Structure 1
Amino acid sequence: MSASQKSALIVGASRGLGLGLVETFLARGWRVTATQRTPSPQLAALASDALRIETVDIDDDAAVADLHARLGPQAYDLIFVVAGVATQAHDPAHVVPRAVAAQVYLTNAISPIRFAEAFRDRVAPGGSLALMSSILGSVALNESGGWEIYRASKAALNTLARSFAIRHSDTGISVLLVHPGWVRTDMGGAEADIDVATSVAGMADVVEARLGRPGSQYVDYRGETLAW
């Protein structure tokens, strides 16, 4: 890798937005390490000298620690944790089984922060740690209700990410919470506003423009700041 070539670690890249981010950063000349929870033919189809593929489940602390060791001393200009779930997203909180609600919270809020903590030493100077959030995580902008467990998990992620940034403020760490838009994916559905290509191109622009800015920022794929 040349001294000027940027590098990214995209966590949760087997399909959808994660896969799209891998494609976009590769097309922009970045070197990319991409993770999958299980083997992804779509990710494998992108194989090139600029792409390294690893397998990890972010809900498994031992697996995350093993990934950290496998990747060695590599530092990344961007670490972007995309992985998340939306199990029973349309059901009100009181009917979602406790175990399901707890798993959504763990995968969407706790695991990304634990991953960030494990890998914060791998963010290069002038780099950023990004977490896939959602406008649904905004308490101030919740005027329609719905998606209750998913909303709560993303609101929790936002809160934990702000605390993470404050806890490490002496390092000048840069934390981006990114809303991808309402995207036509398996999670977003066919009626969503934008396609994957529009979302990931916008997110890549936002990341590149804001690399290394200290503190926590909550923005959408167009670069607009969102209310907490």
Structure 2
Amino acid sequence: MSSVPGRQALVIGASRGLGLVLADELARRGWQVIATARREGSELEARAAASHGRLNVERLEMTSSEQLASLNQRLKGRRLDLLFVNAAIERGNLPIHRVPTDMFTEVMVTNALSPLRTLEALRGRVAPNGTVAIMSSDQGSISLNTESGHELYKASKAALNQLMRSYATRHADDGHTKLLIDPGHNQTLLGGPGAPLKPEESIPLVIDVLEAQAGAPGLQFLDLHGETVPW
């Protein structure tokens, strides 16, 4: 791939929902965007076709280390201003003692381990003053966990946040802005049709936060209004 002038972003997990709207809105704002989907035939490809070259699609199964390495090679020569990882699954509202071991493993690998593997695999493509960000949730806040339900999902997001803290400590001197973003409760496949927000409402606010925080030091856990979410 050849380099393209202007701000460049890589959005991991953009085939639907929040990731799809994120990639589309970045392109609309003039970013040159690479966005990943696991398979062909997604809405992302239709958005890319209508983007006048602002949005390009790459294939990636984020849980595959081999596919991450291959994507990294395909990005050779690109310098990213933003690397944003969006990935999460929910497997039902079971109390933790009823969660099968294979379900626990699947959710933890997808929601916590794989996003950090992705950052490690691709962080070398991010400019020294660029931003690395992960879509988190206030469901991962331990201090806000005062209502019952969705125990496995909450645990996976708390694990994600903790791993990101470790990542930020290990790479404290790399010059990257590091963000965990809570986009609010949205009407997505995961959030359900009764959620109070639509991605088309929340994601422009998320991007406002990303753009406002560019260049900020350290790691922050912020909501879509730029307010700090308690750990």
Same fold per superposition (TM over 0.5): yes
Q: 190, 199, 202: which one pairs with 2:202? A: 199
Q: Which residue of 2 aligns with 1:70?
A: 74
Could you tell me how far apart the structure 2 residues matched to 1:41 and 1:68 are? 22
Helix, strand or coil: the match of 2:173? helix
Mapped contact 1:165–1:174 kept (Cα < 8 A): no
Helix, strand or coil: the match of 1:176? strand
Q: Which residue of 1 aligns with 2:190?
A: 187
Q: Which residue of 1 aligns with 2:36?
A: 35
Q: Which amino acid aligns with 2:147?
A: S
Mapped contact 1:22–1:34 kept (Cα < 8 A): yes
Could you tell me how far apart the structure 1 residues matched to 2:63 and 2:180 are? 19
1:81 aligns with 2:75: no
Q: Which residue of 2 aligns with 1:171?
A: 174
Q: Which residue of 2 aligns with 1:16?
A: 17
1:98 aligns with 2:70: no
Instruction: Measure how far apart 1:165 and its partner are.
Output: 0.6
Could you tell me how far apart the structure 2 residues matched to 1:22 and 1:2 are? 17
Q: Which amino acid aligns with 1:7?
A: Q
Helix, strand or coil: the match of 2:194? coil
1:51 aligns with 2:52: no
Mapped contact 2:81–2:129 kept (Cα < 8 A): yes
Q: Which amino acid aligns with 1:37?
A: R
Q: Which residue of 2 aligns with 1:25?
A: 26
Instruction: Measure how far apart 1:2 and its partner are.
Output: 6.1
| Superposed CA RMSD | 1.2
Could you tell me how far apart the structure 2 residues matched to 1:124 and 1:170 are? 13
Q: Which amino acid aligns with 2:103?
A: V
Q: Which residue of 1 aligns with 2:136?
A: 133
Q: Deviations over 1:11-61 (max 9, x none)?
A: 000000000001110110110000001124311111231111001111000
Mapped contact 2:180–2:221 kept (Cα < 8 A): yes
1:142 aligns with 2:145: yes
Q: What's the % identity of the aligned pairs?
A: 44
Could you tell me how far apart the structure 1 residues matched to 2:41 and 2:34 are? 14
Unaligned 5+ segments in structure 1 are: none
Q: Which amino acid aligns with 2:80?
A: Y
Q: Classify 1:35/1:167 alpha carbon distance in 2 versus 1 (closer, same or farther; 3 Å).
A: same
When normalised by structure 2's length, the TM-score is: 0.95
Helix, strand or coil: the match of 2:83? strand
Q: Classify 1:130/1:40 alpha carbon distance in 2 versus 1 (closer, same or farther; 3 Å).
A: farther
Unaligned 5+ segments in structure 2 are: none
Mapped contact 1:14–1:40 kept (Cα < 8 A): no
Instruction: Measure how far apart 1:169 and its partner are.
Output: 0.7
Mapped contact 2:129–2:175 kept (Cα < 8 A): no
Q: Which residue of 1 aligns with 2:216?
A: 213
- Structure 1's consecutive aligned runs of 4 or more residues displaced over 6 angstroms after TM superposition are none
Helix, strand or coil: the match of 1:169? coil
Q: Classify 1:214/1:40 alpha carbon distance in 2 versus 1 (closer, same or farther; 3 Å).
A: farther
